[in-house]
Amino acid sequence: MTPVLELRAVTKVYGSGAVAVHALTGVDLSVNAGEMVAVMGPSGSGKSTLLTIAGSLEQPTTGDVLVEGTPLAGMSAADRARLRRRHVGFVFQDFNLLPGLTATENISLPLELDGVRARAATAAARRALDELGLADRAGAYPDELSGGQRQRIAIGRALVGERRLLLADEPSGALDTQAGESVMRLLRDACKRGAAAVLATHDAQLAAWADRVVFVRDGVAVDQSRPPAGPESLLAAGTEPSR
Ligand code: ADP
């Protein structure tokens, strides 16, 4: 089976010379359809960098990123943008809802940008709001919504349409435990329907929803689903999630 997402020996260096930051130093990661992988690690370990590179928002310094077997490096900028719009759902901390659009319009906009007719896009957005328990807020603007409601709308927007790859960065950041769990349930449902999800989080309870946990420390990813090499591996760095 071709993985939905594959990172091969990905490195990312910000800046150069004495001020260079090695955010990722050789990350291999493969995520199949239906699978949810949690990426855990201390602040500054490279989790967000990994997600932005996986979503083609940034390019790696070296190494390859493949989405459904296609290397992103070989694609034109326009094709990468189309891939992001159509197949990748981003759930990032700062929500990025457009203030001048209602909840429904915020969700339907990416579909419309992708050529779906307005009526069909609105209907899909209404269904998403219904699933999120926000049907009664369909006409509300972002500043009329609570942080948790905005977060759920951002998630609705990320999941609507035929997304194959879902990238979530601390998706429960502004949520209480119950709302955080409902977000995880939505991500899991999307995986059941065949999406692949990568979730960066500090929260071990959220990571417990994942099929696999990958720890990142100093730009290196350690996949905990692989059997440990021996007792000494238990003492290796990166086996303990940090907060
Ligand atoms: P995390 O998400 O685990 O907190 P990040 O991926 O945000 O970690 O950051 C990894 C490292 O890369 C940090 O040292 C951070 O300061 C640095 N970094 C991230 N983005 C940039 C950027 N755009 N320019 C320079 N350094 C960056």
Type of residue at 4? V
Give CA separation, 213 vs 74, 151, 186, 189, 230, in Å. 29, 23, 19, 18, 19
Q: What is the pLDDT of residue 202?
A: 83
**CATH number of the domain at 5-236, out of 3.40.50.300, 3.30.565.10, 2.60.120.380, 3.40.50.10860?**
3.40.50.300
Kindly report the CA angle at 25 between 23 and 26, in degrees rounded to 5?
A: 135
Residue with the smallest CA separation from ligand 1 atom 17 is 23
What percent of the chain has a predicted confidence (pLDDT) above 70? 88
Beta carbon of 49 within 6 Å of any ligand 1 atom: yes
Which tens digits make up the pLDDT trace of 161-206? 878 999 998 876 666 677 677 778 888 988 998 999 999 988 888 8
- Those residues whose C-beta lies under 8 Å from the C-beta of residue 189, and which sit 6 or more positions away, are none
Q: What pLDDT band is residue 227 in, cutting at 50, 70 and 90?
A: very low
Q: What is the pLDDT of residue 234?
A: 56
Which tens digits make up the pLDDT trace of 154-163? 888 888 887 8
| pLDDT of 55 strictly over 80 | yes
Atom of ligand 1 nearest to the CA of 50: 6
Candidate from 14, 25, 61, 243 with most ligand 1 atoms within 8 A of CB, to mutate = 14
Q: What is the pLDDT of residue 148?
A: 80
The rounded Å distance from CA 25 to ligand 1 centre is 12
Candidate from 7, 19, 49 with most ligand 1 atoms within 8 A of CB, to mutate = 49
Q: What is the pLDDT of residue 236?
A: 56
Residue with the smallest CA separation from ligand 1 atom 16 is 44
